[in-house]
A and B are shown apart, each in its own frame.
Chain A
Amino acid sequence: MEGVDGASLAQLPDEMFKLVLQHASASEGAARLGQLTLRSRPTIKTPHYIVPTSRGVIPHLSQDNVQKHTKIAAVYLPLEDFIEKPQAEAAIYSTPVQNGESQLRRYTCLPDQCLSVLGPRRVPSIPTPAHNTNSSVAISTSVGFRFLEVEQYNEAVNDLGADISASLADVVRAENASAKRLEKSVDRTHAWLRDMVENKAHEHDGQHLSPVFASVPPLEPQRLSLYLSDLCDEYRSRISGICLYSPSTVVALPEGLRQLPIVCLDDPQTPQAVLSAIFAGVDIITVPFVTQSSENGIALSFSFPGSMESRDETLGIDMWSTAHATDLSPLSPGCECYSCKRHHRAYVHHLLQASEMLAWTLLQIHNYSVMDSFFAGFRRSLEQGTFEADIKTFNRAYQSELPKPTGQGPRIRGYQMKSVGGGEPRKNPRVYGRLDDQMQKLAEAESGVATPDGNSEDIEKHGLAKRLD
């Protein structure tokens, strides 16, 4: 195989997606370079990452910080974060908009720099106790588990005006699912896509609609073949991209669908897993471990491909470590992000120790900036045709896992985790310890201060007071 000219490849509707370069050599796997341009959004060079949001925001990053201090170009918004009311009456549907503006964007104050991708469920999603039905998907909202009717979802897609909307997928995560269940998974996904594109064609003639990315459940290629050939033959003109839930599904895609942009809503655990997804041909991928690392107090510290001489370097630095207590150096040497330019390790360490929310904000800014260079590194490498060799360099240069968290992250909210019922350990530490009654009083008082702690030795060492005997 050889490099293919972008112009001849990319005769897609609206020129939305242009493949600049498809596997320069066989050794590059199916990795490719592309450009995704939607409506008035800035063009996204692929491979790229997409940030999963929580309740419409990128965790710990207020929108002004997103604009000023990140280059985040795409976000994923799950509908289940917005529909805890009786679904049809959810506030988001009442958002006033003008001139065909997107309700989703307006409601969430999403910065213009970010492409919006709408899907039904959070990434990573919380397993639901109930199963999907033929006409609905089980979801988890902040007020509990609910069902999202297919019809409701299709209406939401039409109303909210996301830049891209994924079709519903019947994703079965259970490894021991029966053959029958797996068959159902692909049949439902197939039927739901049909509903979605036909319903769109019907009700909104001529209107500018949210481009649909066809969801493909993470199943073996032979189970998907009927669905995929239908996508290729019948729905090709009405879908604008493919939405996967695992990079291993890429191999199932027939050539006709490979010209489309491929988004993968997965939860890779390491940068190496991200690399292999890109190698497999994914264009845009969710990387939840970035936010997770920030919440764990870890400053990511890798770049692509990394140095030839390095061996077994750490992928991230644990800012909880007291080694950073007086370290005035940036989170990563030479990093140009706001956190590294204006602040230092000692501050981030202090903020973590003091349970200040700003720790996570500064780490998010840094960690997403690391992501920017990581993906820019892929693209450069693909351009140069050195991707496979560079992957080897990376794998040699870095450890295979992110450092284990040692400190306490933000309080876990109900919609972020599933209760398995009975005898679970506490997810959050108790806030009020031995000072319960005092703290209670304090919380009620109009003027007060945060929880004090520290044992006598600390206090004395810190010069705050001396011990009496």
Chain B
Amino acid sequence: MSTAAANTTSTKPSALTFDLHARCSTSKARASTLHLPHGTVDLPMFMPVATQASLKGLTPEQLEETGCTLCLNNTYHLGLKPGQEVLDTIGGAHKLQGWNYNILTDSGGFQMVSLLKLAKITEEGVRFLSPHDGTPMLLTPEHSMSLQNSIGSDIMMQLDDVIQTTSPDHARMKEAMERSIRWLDRCIASHKYPEKQNLFCIIQGGLDLEMRRQCCVEMVKRDTPGIAIGGLSGGEAKSDFCKVVDTCTDMLPETKPRYVMGIGYPEDIVVAVALGADMFDCVWPTRTARFGNAITSGGVLNLKHARYSKDFGPVEPDCTCTVCRSKEDGGLGVTRAFIYHLAAKETVGAHLLTMHNVHHLLALMRRARQAILADRYPDFARDFFARYFAGKATPQWAIDALRGVGIEL
């Protein structure tokens, strides 16, 4: 491990400030505010994923109306379309999509590994075959930084060596973790605008807690403006996921935002918040909307099921989103029956459910934050699980994880 590098590289100055407002007196949950170049973000927060500079049919204005002030773009996709040259000419992704709030971009590496056949990681970078013509290609940390600089994201992620957390190959896992640290150093060195864009490091180490701890120590030394916990949501057991988050947050400084990558189920978020994480992202809420699934506090409803064809209630009772609010209340008064009528047939059906689902998650985060500020997060979590799994058993992993931080469901 290159400890020498740790002394020579620092990302200061950073382009954010982080105000920690409250800590739950029982669990590790925190409420804070993140001040970014394009406005403030209240944490904990869920970030919807606008993969190709658009959130699945929603106008940036509609996204604003859900209360979102920080969304994701994917570097890999923007690198292909519209491409770096266009991004440079236009002046970045904010300008491209008419979005005046914050953008977070991933490194592009995850897409390579998860989408492409025969992606191979070497010390230089990620080798992969071009999906169209099969030519061997190489993505390096420097490429990733350069693209993210062109995108102009408010938060950028380091290129990391991601492998399946469930991989049994301990040596490879250790190599990936250590390589991620070396790559962070390369990212820091090639980051052009540390005063305008915040580079987050990504903690790796699979499910091996000792390896995660080592990684935390090294990454924290690099003093990036924020810290992500990566490599999760890759099919590992939920209890393992919780242990990793719990272990890492214990090692991380209080004064920096913590981002758990790829997490988006409401129950995962509620638990991860209790374990001390602040930021989350996932394509699930928006993707599942396109399949006709509505996220509600009583669980996920598949509105394509015929049982909803004559259900004239709102998508979610008491929801305050534009879609669910009644016409009398200034909303659209959309019913489950109408979503059933549109689902998978008209794009408007997807737009409406996407708006609802994003709003639902953001509202959940707002309530979680208020609960932390009022120091009643344990009650909030209990209430959430009682409703979300109404009539069903609460998953054991959630019970155990919350018990570990003093919350009895």
Residues 421-464 (chain A) with a chain B CB within 8 angstroms: 434-435, 438, 442, 445-450, 452-456, 458-464
Chain B residue at minimum C-beta to C-beta distance from A359: B54
- Tell me if B97 and A347 are in contact (CB < 8 A): yes
- Tell me if A326 and B143 are in contact (CB < 8 A): no
Pick out which of these stretches binds chain A: B170-178, B186-194, B202-210, B342-350: B342-350
- Tell me if B51 and A450 are in contact (CB < 8 A): yes
* A205 interface residue per 8 A CB criterion: no
Q: From B77, B89, B262, B348, give the contact of A452 (CB < 8 A).
A: B77
- Tell me if A62 and B341 are in contact (CB < 8 A): no
Cα separation A455 to B135 with both chains bound (whole Å): 8
- Tell me if A91 and B111 are in contact (CB < 8 A): no
* A109 interface residue per 8 A CB criterion: yes
List chain A residues, Cβ under 8 A from B351. 62, 357, 361
List chain B residues, Cβ under 8 A from A91. 309-310, 337, 340-341
A410 to chain B, nearest CB (A): 7
List chain A residues, Cβ under 8 A from B283. 447-449
- Tell me if B90 and A462 are in contact (CB < 8 A): no
- Tell me if B338 and A56 are in contact (CB < 8 A): yes
Cα separation A95 to B132 with both chains bound (whole Å): 50
Pick out which of these stretches binds chain B: A145-153, A262-270, A348-356, A400-408: A348-356
List chain A residues, Cβ under 8 A from B137. 456, 459-460, 464-468
B280 to chain A, nearest CB (A): 11
Pick out which of these stretches binds chain A: B59-67, B214-222, B269-277: B59-67
Cα separation A356 to B49 with both chains bound (whole Å): 13
- Tell me if B312 and A94 are in contact (CB < 8 A): yes
List chain A residues, Cβ under 8 A from B61. 68, 338, 342
Cα separation A59 to B342 with both chains bound (whole Å): 11
- Tell me if B86 and A346 are in contact (CB < 8 A): yes
Contact A456-B132, Cβ < 8 Å, known A462-B80, A463-B147: yes
Q: From A107, A360, A464, give the contact of B76 (CB < 8 A).
A: A464
- Tell me if A463 and B150 are in contact (CB < 8 A): yes
Contact A455-B233, Cβ < 8 Å, known A361-B59, A449-B111, A460-B137: no
Q: From A82, A95, A465, give the contact of B139 (CB < 8 A).
A: A465
List chain A residues, Cβ under 8 A from B86. 325-326, 346, 350
- Tell me if B327 and A434 are in contact (CB < 8 A): no
* B403 interface residue per 8 A CB criterion: no
Cα separation A221 to B55 with both chains bound (whole Å): 53
Pick out which of these stretches binds chain A: B18-26, B27-35, B113-121, B378-386: B113-121
B33 to chain A, nearest CB (A): 27
Cα separation A358 to B348 with both chains bound (whole Å): 11
B interface residues, how many (CB within 8 angstroms): 86
Pick out which of these stretches binds chain A: B123-131, B357-365, B368-376: B123-131
- Tell me if B131 and A358 are in contact (CB < 8 A): no
Most chain B CB atoms below 10 A, which of A446, A452, A464, A468 = A464
* B83 interface residue per 8 A CB criterion: yes
Residues 323-342 (chain A) with a chain B CB within 8 angstroms: 325-326, 328, 338, 342
Q: From A60, A63, A325, give the contact of B82 (CB < 8 A).
A: A325
- Tell me if B82 and A346 are in contact (CB < 8 A): yes
List chain B residues, Cβ under 8 A from A68. 61
* B44 interface residue per 8 A CB criterion: no
Cα separation A460 to B135 with both chains bound (whole Å): 11
List chain A residues, Cβ under 8 A from B80. 452-454, 458-459, 462, 464
Ordered by A's residue number, 13 sampled pairs between the chains whose C-beta atoms are within 8 Å are A60-B348, A64-B62, A351-B53, A361-B59, A447-B234, A447-B264, A447-B283, A448-B287, A452-B115, A454-B81, A454-B132, A456-B130, A465-B128
**17 extra interface residue pairs, beta carbon distance < 8 Å, beyond A356-B54, A357-B56, A467-B135:** A56-B342, A60-B348, A91-B341, A107-B337, A328-B90, A347-B53, A353-B82, A354-B53, A358-B59, A413-B345, A445-B235, A450-B52, A455-B135, A464-B108, A464-B139, A465-B143, A467-B136
- Using a CB–CB cutoff of 8 Å, the interface residues on chain B facing chain A are 51-62, 74-77, 79-86, 89-90, 95-98, 108, 111, 114-117, 125-128, 130-133, 135-140, 143, 146-147, 150, 233-235, 262, 264-265, 282-284, 287, 309-310, 312, 322, 327, 332-335, 337-338, 340-342, 345-348, 350-352, 355
- Using a CB–CB cutoff of 8 Å, the interface residues on chain A facing chain B are 54-65, 68, 82, 85, 91, 94-96, 106-109, 142, 325-326, 328, 338, 342-344, 346-347, 349-351, 353-354, 356-358, 360-362, 410, 413, 415, 434-435, 438, 442, 445-450, 452-456, 458-469
